[in-house]
Structure 1
Amino acid sequence: MKRTSFGATVAAAIVAIAAQGALAADFSGKTIEYTIPFSESGGSAKWANFFAPLLSDALPGNPTVVVRYRPGAGSTEGANWFQGQQDEGDGLTIFGDSGSTKFPYLLGDPRVRYEYQDWQPVLASATGGVVYLPPDLAEKFDGDMDDLGDEVYLYGSQGATTLDLVPLLAFRMLGLDVDPVFGVEGRGDGRLMFERGEANIDYQTSSAYLANVQPLVDDGLAVPIFSWGALDDAGNIVRDPTFPDMPSFKEVCEATAACETEGVAWDAIKAFIIAGFANQKTIFLPSSASQDVVDTYTEALRSIVTAEGFMDTAAEVLGVYPQLVAGGAIEATNQATAISPEAKKYVLDWLMEDYGISMN
């Protein structure tokens, strides 16, 4: 469905809701700053720029919604900035996080000066991710990583406590010798390293993969080998619905001699897959936002995600994943910002052992 017709559908839905008196806030003539703590080249930018014009159509008064980028310190810099905006309750300041923001929080990273319990979630977005290799290495992949264990890999990373925790731990579990090059500002920068031949293994979230890596695959410059997978209703990791023909990490782990899908290592990586992907991105309002403002955003977002044609449009950009509002967004955020003591200890011990990183 074309952007104009889909926007018209959303606008019609929001007018109907407003006529019923459900929306109290009016953003006529206003500009909303939608901040994400990453560079403009990664999956979070794709996600934010997808929802920004839809919010402009759906919110009363059709405000201008501008995406702002505040990268730095594995996204904690931008999150700390948003924590300082908690008195901006007029609805003109919103924030979009990622698993890279949740992970330092879960691990007790000393850079974290933000508190998720202070923020008000209004949309929770699941996503996925795909690991890919250059064609020469991918030729050795036959469903397991056994023939790839002798290679030396370079991987552009934002940091071991960012969303890159999942691939770094996964690579370790698979028995791969991966040397991370820390310091890239976003996953898009890691992809550029791969394109320049400076890295020979990479992963991208689904939205960035669909937009930026699929063309490399089509040109024979990259080969996908597995996705992180998705959760079924029973909490099991299954194939990603966006990439149903691609094996999940669990399948590859089961097939690889060095990897196990039970025990503390598996419990740990599953916990972070949930935090990093099952509720990977969330839109927040500050704590001081009134219930009227929260309700206005909630109903606007509900009109977006339930509008005719949304799923088809979203699938082309974000992949086929749930978009939760209201209580669903709150529950998803609660689950994604909690971790068992055992899983946390395992990951903290691994970070110290492999990277000399201490959260103390």
Structure 2
Amino acid sequence: MFVADLLLLLRYSVATTSRVHPVCVLYLNKSFLCTFFFTEKKKTELCQELSLQARDLRFQHSTSLTARNNCIIIRMETLKAIVTLNNLLVFDFRGMGLERWLVLELAPQLASQTYSLPFEFRALEAILQHRVNTLQTRLNEVEPVILDTLESLVDPKILSADRSKLHVLLQNSKSLSELETDIQVFKDSLLKILDEDEMIEELCLTKWTDPRVFEESSLGIDHAEEMELLLENYYMQAQELGNTARELKGLIDDSESVIFINLDSHRNVMMRLNLQLTMGTFSLSLFGLIGVAFGMNLESTFEEDPKVFWLVTGFMFLGSGLIWRRLLSFLGRHLEPTLVIHFIFHTLLFIFNCQIANVFFLVDTPSLEKKSERWNKMIILSV
């Protein structure tokens, strides 16, 4: 029943902001009593109430965790809060997607009676856990998309990279870089406190105000050590998230190298095809001069012999093949079997058409260079 009333108040706060622009402050205390202020309360009034300076309420700074005058000031990406001895103040939470977390997770965790440590421990742990969960959620959204995209891009069977997938990878890589930066900032804010014992002492607000704390200290329960363990726990969680993000970033860099290697390999294949085609064109041009000689409008005694045509044609085929094969030996290595079959088939077809045309036609044919260009396009498309 109370949760339903609290949700109703949150909805009422959103409706109220359409008419005025108040400073929204949510108060949560130990007994789970919530009070909403929808008034134009100035910062000076808040400073007097909390005994803070005006600069302490400037939440536009980066992620930080500081202690001032028995208050813990928390600045995060979407969360602005101040922890006191008995209250947790959350500022400007509307429109940040925090309503559900405030009602269903934060408030019950603060009201839990199973936690023996003071109120500031419960409040600080709840906020740090929320921050870690937010970073983990962002990482879980980006990681599978990046892995699936990289798996499809590094496939060696792909001749060219899909631009749409490259665009998706670029966007997710930017998101991953932003996430890595946020994780590093969060880690630095915790590490700054862990390096200073005095700052850890200042975070224990009830250490010098509650008499029971002295009794617990005499029994061996040190709240400063508990606070240090609490911060170290979430620092380690953030470090694991940072390691995962760096591994993904390294995987992207490695995959980028693999993609370029695959593209260079296929580019080398096409260059080798072009070189072989050039060699074949040279051999055809060399022995095609015999067919050009027979195509001249001059009479000779060879036309009368029916065997000369087959002898000359066979000689041109044999000579062109031997020269082309000799030139291929300088390449040192050959193409894949499937590419070789395609290349030989189209090359023989082209040779046959050229030789027949040179023998039978009595007029000049198109230049072999133009034929070579058309053949080059055809062989590339067919392969």
Instruction: Give the shorter-chain TM-score range.
Output: under 0.3
Question: Which protein has greater RCO, CA pairs closer than 8 Å, 6+ apart?
Answer: 1
Q: Structure 1 length as normaliser, TM-score?
A: 0.25
Q: Structure 2 length as normaliser, TM-score?
A: 0.23
